[in-house]
Amino acid sequence: MDGQSLPTSLQAAVEGFRRYLEGERARSAHTLRAYLADVESLLGFAVQEGISELGQLELGSLRRWLGAQSEAGMARATLARRAATARAFTGWALREELITTDPAIRLQAPKRDKSLPGVLQQQQVTRMVDDLNTAAGDGGPLAVRNRAMVELLYATGVRVGELAGLDIDDLDPDRRTLRVVGKGNKERTVPYGVPAALAVDDWLRRGRPALATPTSGPALFLGVRGKRVDPRQIRAVVNELLQALGDTSATGPHALRHSAATHLLDGGADLRAVQEILGHSSLATTQIYTHVSVDRLRRSYQQAHPRA
């Protein structure tokens, strides 16, 4: 059942929650869509149980909603997010006095699977960049753009949405830093190295002018029609490069973010400095990369030491 099929009072609650997320919480468009889809799923399930008013929502309905999705094979991470959305929604409804008690206050989500992120070896990154340099030397503006995007992704560890959202003025070429607006509209400054600086400069000199149109605006990276590059286009570029390597299971731009963080820590970077670079609000999120580094160290030891 979609949002338009909900009873009027429940649909009004969804719209109120939307305004709250857009205004006070300043959520990204992607997060907004996910939250609203979760709420509509919850309320659609509740309607099927005979609920027509928000005040009729009970903890049992919430648990059965999550249970039905778990039985359908939904991943633990998604179930955890949906439980968090439910708590955020009912908490908002309580503050708005749409309900008198919060039915989700005791709602427990399944623990997330603690899987380590896919990480490239440094020589794999080198091979990827070598291929990009060859393509950029012989190819057109898109090849020049792709090299600059990948160099910047790996150099800074920014998220794919953050890269797509960069404007030219966000770059400080003299200091080799860029200004990034991350989750929750939090701004941070991230350094990048000489290879990324050279690739971006090449893109600005001979790549971007070939694609820019009067409507391109200040966007740093452009698509083939001159509009701001879409995150999906970036994912497609990176996935194709990773598949071409042939010896990694890593996928997507997030693999470059994971790799940047792991390689920084392998090189002796301070954990809190890496946290600041990645834009993590919690140090615990950054600490997963220490586990990745230890894991790689253990594998190397077992392969190399005669008495491992």
Residue 1: its pLDDT value, please? 47
What is the strand order of the sheet 171-172 is part of?
A: 171-172, 177-181, 187-191
Per-residue pLDDT at 294: 58
Segments in the chain below pLDDT 50: 1-3
Residue 257 annotated among the catalytic residues of the structure: yes
What is the model's pTM? 0.61
- Given 27, 208, 263, 280, the catalytic residue: 280
Which listed residue (35, 154, 192, 289) is catalytic? Answer: 289
User: Catalytic pick from 145, 208, 257, 263?
Assistant: 257
Q: List beta partners, residue 181.
A: 187
Residue-wise over 209-234: b if at least 16 C-beta within 10 A, else e?
eebeeeeeeebbbbbeebebbebebb
Please state whether beta strands 171-172 and 187-191 pair in parallel, antiparallel, or not at all (unpaired).
unpaired
Question: Is 289 an active-site residue?
Answer: yes
> Is residue 263 annotated as a catalytic residue, yes or no?
no
Q: What is the pLDDT of residues 171-189, one digit of tens each?
A: 999 999 999 987 777 889 8
Query: Which position among 27, 82, 87, 159 bears the catalytic label?
Result: 159
- Dihedral Cα 160, 162, 168, 171, nearest 10 deg: -100
In one-letter notation, the amino acid at residue 90 is T
Residue 159 designated active-site: yes
Please state the domain extents for the chain.
Answer: 3-95, 122-254
* Count of positions (residues) in the chain: 308
Q: Give me the DSSP letters along 115-134.
A: PPPP---HHHHHHHHHHHHH
What one-letter code names the amino acid at 46? A
Please identify, in words, the CATH class of the domain defined by 122-254: mainly alpha
Give the β-pairing of 187-191 and 177-181. antiparallel
Asked if residues 116 and 291 have their Cβ atoms less than 8 Å apart, the reply is yes
CA–CA distance, 85 with 82 (Å, rounded to integer): 5
Which among 183, 188, 228, 296 is annotated as catalytic?
Answer: 183
